[in-house]
Amino acid sequence: MASKAHVQDNSVSERRLRPIYEWLDSGNNKKALQECDKVLKKTPNLLCAKALKALSVLRMGRESECTNILDALVAENPADDATLQAMTLCYRELQQQEKICGLYETAIKIDPSNEEFHTHLFMSYVRIGDFKLQQQSAMNLYKLKPKNPYYCWAVMSVIQQATRGPGKKDAKKRVVLLSLAERMIDKLITENKLEAEQEVQLYLMVLELQDKIEEALQVFNGPLGAKLICATADTYKLPYLIKLRRWAEVNLVCKGILMDSVDRWDIWKEYINSVFQLMSTELHLNNHHVENHNNGENDLENVDDTPEKAHEFICRLVENGADNGYLLRGPYLARFELCSKLIKQGIDSTDLLGETIELFIEYFRKFGHKPCCVSDLRVYLYLLDSERKSELSNRLIKDVGISSTSVPQSEQQMQRHLCSLQLSRLCGSHRNLSADHLAALVTAFSLHYQHGYQTYGLNLLSTDQGPSDAYAILAAHILYDLAQLTKSSKPIITALVLLESLLKNSPCSFNAKLLCVRLFHAIGAGLGAHQMYENLDIKHLQMDSLGYMHCARLPTTGLLSLTTTLLDTTLKFFSSNYKDSSDHLTFCYKFGSFIKLDDFMDFREKLNNSFHYTAVAVDRIILNIVQCNSTENLYNSNILPKDNKIDWDKLRDNHDLSVYVSWDPERADGPPENSKEVEDLFKQNVQFLKLRTHILWALSAAINIVKSHDATKNTCVDTLKDVLKDWEDLYSKTNSTKSVPIKQNIVTLPLPSRLHLHLNYPYLDILGQLFRLIISIATEDTNNCNTVVTDLEKKFEHMLDGVSENIHQQNISEDCLWERRNAMESIVNTVEIICISSILCLLCHDFARPSQGKKSKKKLDSSTRFVLTEISSIIKKAISKLDSCLETWKTSNEYDLADRLALLNLSADGQNSVLEDIKNSHITAVKELRTLLKSKTKLLNSVSG
Amino acid sequence: MTTLRPFTCNDMYRFNNVNLDPLTETYGLSFYMQYLAHWPEYFQVAESPSGEIMGYIMGKAEGHGENWHGHVTALTVSPDYRRLGLAAILMNFLEDVSEKKRAYFVDLFVRVSNKVAINMYTNLGYIVYRTVLEYYSGDPDEDAYDMRKACSRDVKQKSVIPLNHPVRPEDVE
């Protein structure tokens, strides 16, 4: 009956609701709410208006009000699409996707033949990843409307159970489920119903997962193969043939593709591999083809099963050569692949290919004028021993013919020069040079940069990269080497001046900007780094892949307000994308792109388990606590990062370190992400994050004690005790591993982990003591409180002595910037400890206050109060000492690099702007930290008062 | 020298050296995911022998009747890998897919100021079909050329008879 009434006034209510949708779409939630109330006055039972009201209040931040409306709505069993949609939105934004399922389960009971509801129900199961229920609801849907896509949804849901559900850990279940999936599709096939390309892809997927490769291959010979139109049959078949180790066929298919497109690198590699596979199998003995070499006419019949034949094939393609106007690198690089295979097999490659080094020289002569020549050859540098590498380095430089007194005569020659210099650095030629020698290289490259800019770079578009930019980048890298060698910040500043001058000429050089961010952070100048970072326009997923270079460093710079903003922006990205990413899974079903589902699910996990995400979440909460100015705020804020759902074992390093161009010899060993240093760094970072998260767990437990009743208090106390125990264990475990900061000799690798300075500061000593004090007060066991006070006094004094020594060293140092980053990070650690201590002191005070009506504690009041007053004055003393240290901290030395810059033909103005950034960074940080400390003194006064 | 393969989600973590270039826009995740889910065959990435992303192409197929066509949404090549014919390889791929889908033509939009790109598309056989006024927002807004190339299905080349008058963005679907 109710539904009939709805039908009748559908158009009326639609008209009334329209403005609400419009307000919501334009983000004007307040107006939307007013409109909802207006509509509800006229039609108080219009469920959709209620649902939209829930959405409006939710978007205004009134979560509990929204939940109340939703709960009331659920009780009314809504079964109209608009209401359900609005409620779905609410649950999505509340991150309660599971409730959407219940919503549609009820709706289907009311309206069992509604196809749309069934679809929504299926998608709601997709969102929460319940594959079994997915399967059931898809089958129900198919029974209702026998459409192929629905059937395939069910098949895919079975596959997911096999690969990601119960079959993931149970091989038997996997087999059963996959064969079920196969039978389900077989049924479609026998009924001649399999139609769409995606459906055939699904079939192939089922076969592949069961390793039924032969069957998969057969698909291409049957009518189903014709439905696969989006890629060529060869592209589909090749991986199957490889899996089946049918090398002769692999060989021929590859040859066929290569003769058409000589630049397909993946195919070249498979081709060469097949040659060696054929060579090593005895099979090829029986595989005698007529030996004929009539210029490859029969290439598609002759299997190449020896390196000689492969070489001939390569040579033939070289001769057929450039047909589209570009000289193609494929066959030339294929020779390196051939050479590398020969060497790996222990076969002398010189008979066939000549001296390996000559391959490099020849390749360089052909392609040295293309920037990609460097990365092409980098892959194969390992074929040369160190002696040969230095020979190569010398010969390349000689080959270009630019001496210390000449300049390139054409843009091409300049590119060849750059290429030779970069390769030569990759060969290690810049290692073990004296400071003077390095400085001379810097001068030469800087002048080359300017010459190149003047000659070839003046009329470029503002969006172009300058043709000679790479000289300046190379010079900046060498300046960093020089800084490491001489332990001086001056070369770093010189590099920044050089890069900033480059950016005036080519404002789009992202390589220069990336390097500047790194260099500014190296000397603790967060503000300079921030300007460059802003300039890079980092957004969306780049916050995860590139956030490490800036966002992860900012919390150590003392630039509190900048840090807050950037952490917030980053967190917003992560949390909103996690919500969206469940939608993306539904897209795959909607469009039938089953082949993408696995990829999408992996990606969702990768994003959500991002180390950076977790670190930012923890940093943000700690910053919040550090800046917290009342216990009220503390009680109301969320202290547990990511709702305490951190899967520590799954945390992943999503950083893109390869974005930094590097010509350090280590780069020839592989991408930086795979290096030992980076692996160590990640371990240290995770350790650091765990330690920091313990602060939050302890604090959360402490707050629960304060909030607890007599009945629950003991459990809360036990929880805190457990956390403290874990924290101590972790501390000693971490200390005992004695991990060392990663080496800083390579400019393109990240800065050391924050772990090391964290361990140097008494986080556990001081905060742990205060947490134990809370336990003492809670358990009314305050006998040893006086020892706690003396202990804390000693610890604070010790910490502050360190700080004042630190700053003293900074002030008397001739090069205070060299240690500035560490000094600032240490100060920030000290400030953190002091601020959190203040909050804990306040928490104790709250707890012991008689006004809370906890009569049993009255006796303790006077003594506890005394202890707390003592502690607060200890902290205040520390604050005032720290404050006076900060007051005396000099910004920077009076630098004068004019002479040095003049050598590089750089103006002194550039120096001033870089030094200005460094200075401002320091002034701002010190100012913000002092303001923060002042607010804590005020706060503590309330305790002693 | 190229490995051409379907774009995967993980490539979004690795395409920074391409996307930090000012002419390439980095979109929100949903944008890429929509394309990956809806037209996976049209989203291809070109990888170098050293495993770096050299460039990628994103496209889709849409339209009804004789307007059924392939569309290039984004085509980009990293600065280090330009002038190697890579854009042509990627475009060829997209055109091939469009042919297989029996599209009538392939089209794309390009800023009228982007001479380099216009020139390249012209060399690949595209013509300026029409001008779309103030298609790119900015200060000031910029016009776009809607460029087209006919597929073999459009035997009479009807899709590539240029319009005489410019159109407004709202007239373009």
Residues A606, B10: C-beta atoms closer than 8 Å: yes
Before B140, cis peptide (omega within 30)? yes
Q: How far apart are CA A706 and CA A629, in angstroms?
A: 17
Q: How far apart are CA A119 and CA A831, in angstroms?
A: 55
Task: Read off the DSSP letter of residue B58.
Answer: E
SS3 B145: strand
Can you give the pLDDT at residue A294?
46
Which positions 455-494 of A are in contact with B (Cβ < 8 Å)? 463, 465
Can you give the pLDDT at residue A854?
47
Can you give the pLDDT at residue A231?
78
Q: Which residues of chain A have pLDDT under 50?
A: 1-8, 283-284, 287-296, 851-859
Can you give the pLDDT at residue A52?
95
Residue written as tokens 């997927």? A205
Is residue B138 less than 8 Å (CB to CB) from chain A? no
Burial of A1 (0-12, 13-18, 19+ CB in 10 A): exposed
Query: In this prediction, what percent of chain B has a pLDDT beyond 90?
Result: 87
Residues A596, B40: C-beta atoms closer than 8 Å: yes
Residues A371, B80: C-beta atoms closer than 8 Å: yes
Among residues A750, A268, A190, A779, the alpha carbon closest in space to that of A522 is found at A750
Q: How far apart are CA A505 and CA A496, in angstroms?
A: 14
Is residue B158 less than 8 Å (CB to CB) from chain A? no
Å from A668 to nearest chain B CA? 10
Residues A596, B37: C-beta atoms closer than 8 Å: yes
Q: pLDDT tens digit string along A98-137?
A: 999 999 999 999 999 999 999 999 999 999 999 999 999 9
Is residue A539 less than 8 Å (CB to CB) from chain B? yes
Among residues A656, A661, A662, A568, the alpha carbon closest in space to that of A616 is found at A568
Å from B156 to nearest chain A CA? 24
Chains A–B, number of C-beta pairs less than 8 Å apart: 140
Among residues A687, A685, A608, the alpha carbon closest in space to that of A641 is found at A608
Residues B83, A378: C-beta atoms closer than 8 Å: no
In this structure, what token pair is assigned to residue B8? 């995967």
SS3 B109: strand
Can you give the pLDDT at residue A903?
79
- Own/partner contacts of A533-539, CB < 8 Å, gap of 24 or more, are A536/A510, A536/B20, A537/B26, A539/B26
Question: Best residue in A468, A515, A540, A550 to probe B by mutation, most B CBs within 10 Å?
Answer: A540
Determine contact, residues A154/A142, Cβ cutoff 8 Å: yes
Q: Which residues of A touch B36 (CB under 8 A)?
A: 593, 596, 599-600
| Fold assignment, A2-128 | 1.25.40
- What residue ranges do the domains of chain A occupy? 2-128, 231-354, 613-944
Residues B20, A510: C-beta atoms closer than 8 Å: yes
Q: Which residues of A touch B9 (CB under 8 A)?
A: 599-600, 602-603, 606
Q: pLDDT tens digit string along B30-72?
A: 999 999 999 999 999 999 999 999 999 999 999 999 999 999 9
Is residue B84 less than 8 Å (CB to CB) from chain A? yes
Q: How far apart are CA A653 and CA A169, in angstroms?
A: 25
Q: Which residues of A touch B79 (CB under 8 A)?
A: 371, 465
CA angle at A335 for the pair A332 and A337, rounded to the nearest 5°? 120
Cα dist. B120→A471, A550, A694, B73, B75 in Å?
29, 37, 58, 16, 12
Can you give the pLDDT at residue A819?
95
Phi, psi dihedrals of residue B165, rounded to the nearest 5°? -115, 145
Determine contact, residues A749/A657, Cβ cutoff 8 Å: yes
Can you give the pLDDT at residue B138?
84
Query: In this prediction, does ipTM exceed 0.90?
Result: yes
CA A651 from centroid of its chain's CA atoms:
11
Can you give the pLDDT at residue A580?
84
HEC letters along A706-751: HHCCHHHHHHHHHHHHHHHHHHHHHHHHHHHHCCCCCCCCCCCCCC
Can you give the pLDDT at residue B16?
96
Residues A324, B84: C-beta atoms closer than 8 Å: no
Determine contact, residues A843/A777, Cβ cutoff 8 Å: no
Q: Which residues of A touch B51 (CB under 8 A)?
A: 671
Name all domains of chain B by residue range, CATH numbers in brackets: 1-103 (3.40.630.30), 113-173 (no CATH)
Beta bridge partners of B167: B132
Determine contact, residues A824/A557, Cβ cutoff 8 Å: yes
| Pairing outcome for strands B44-47 and B53-62 | antiparallel
Residue written as tokens 């800023």? B111
Q: Which residues of B touch A593 (CB under 8 A)?
A: 36-38, 40
Beta bridge partners of B2: A264
Q: pLDDT tens digit string along A133-154?
A: 999 999 999 999 999 999 999 9
Is residue B123 less than 8 Å (CB to CB) from chain A? no
Does B159 have pLDDT greater than 80?
Answer: yes
Is residue B142 less than 8 Å (CB to CB) from chain A? no
